[in-house]
Amino acid sequence: MIKKIQVEPVKYREKYLSTSLLTKAEVEHAMDRVVEQVRQNMICIGGRFPTPAAKDGSYGVIDNIEWTDGFWTGLLWLCYEYTGDGAFRELAERNVESFLNRVEQRIELDHHDLGFLYSLSCVAGYKLTGSGTARRAGLLAADKLMERFRETGGFIQAWGTLGARDNYRLIIDCLLNIPLLYWASRETGDERYENAARRHYQTACNNVIRDDASAYHTFYFDPETGEPVKGVTRQGYSDDSAWA
């Protein structure tokens, strides 16, 4: 059961409806520009990954250790799908091998961002190529994410030692991680993944999303009872501000 929220009317509706749609040529021009930028980045990044944030106007190069690394591999797969150029596929498949090693060795994966990492890299690669390596990596990542599901409260714990009171919380961003569990459930026929994803979704909607449809960044629960405690921010302006 999902609580009801107050839906505000869209302001300036007619203004946006009267704006012309992008043409096919405009979209293709934008896509071609993205493809060229990715090609250039492939030269400097190689088989590694860009840093999560830029410093002095540019991104550094790191090993496969950050929560953002799946985004780069996802770009490679999108470029391959758009152009059919095997260069994108070859580098993406090298990345997939790295992701398999990362999950098998459990390198920097004690957090909830397994979906950001593996849906965009390995699940996407499996869907495009049928790669057994990508499928194995995706399913192992789903298993790793399942370790963070807390029966008491019914949610995926974002960070920290599992069950610890000072980290017994979810964050709104995790809704973008749970598609990994839905995929794993369809792929294996095991309903455990889907049931955990659905319970997390319901818990998030009923707690982290406020009555006016804005969202807290994080939301705490009591580790003994599972009862909701409070919504706070970790990186936003304030506990009462809206996480965007």
Whole-angstrom CA distances from 170 to 165, 211, 229 are: 12, 18, 12
Strand partners, 58: 55
Q: How confident is the model at residue 119 (pLDDT cuts 50, 70, 90)?
A: very high
The predicted-structure confidence for 210-221, as pLDDT tens digits, reads as follows 988 899 999 999
% of the chain at pLDDT higher than 90: 92
CA atoms of 50 and 148, how far apart (whole Å): 27
The predicted-structure confidence for 126-152, as pLDDT tens digits, reads as follows 999 999 999 999 999 999 999 999 999
Q: Is residue 6 pLDDT above 90, yes or no?
A: no
Q: Report the pLDDT value the prediction gives residue 1, as an integer from 0 to 100.
A: 80
Chain-wide mean pLDDT for the chain? 96
Residues 186/197, Cβ–Cβ less than 8 Å? no
Q: Is residue 158 pLDDT above 90, yes or no?
A: yes
Q: How confident is the model at residue 115 (pLDDT cuts 50, 70, 90)?
A: very high
CA 66 to chain centroid? 12
Domain boundaries, the chain: 25-147, 149-244
| For residues 1-22, average pLDDT | 88
Q: Report the pLDDT value the prediction gives residue 226, as an integer from 0 to 100.
A: 97
Residues 6+ apart with CB under 8 A from 138: 118, 119, 122, 123, 126, 180, 183, 184, 187
Q: Report the pLDDT value the prediction gives residue 167, as an integer from 0 to 100.
A: 97
Q: Is residue 170 pLDDT above 90, yes or no?
A: yes
CA atoms of 145 and 109, how far apart (whole Å): 9
Q: Is residue 2 pLDDT above 90, yes or no?
A: no
| For residues 143-165, average pLDDT | 97
Whole-angstrom CA distances from 193 to 111, 118, 163 are: 17, 15, 20
Residues identified as active-site: 113, 173
Q: Is residue 4 pLDDT above 90, yes or no?
A: no
Helix, strand, coil share (%) of the chain residues, nearest 5: 50, 10, 40
Q: Report the pLDDT value the prediction gives residue 8, as an integer from 0 to 100.
A: 83
| For residues 190-202, average pLDDT | 98
CA atoms of 149 and 168, how far apart (whole Å): 11
What is the pTM assigned to this prediction? Answer: 0.93
Residues 6+ apart with CB under 8 A from 18: none
Residues 221/169, Cβ–Cβ less than 8 Å? yes
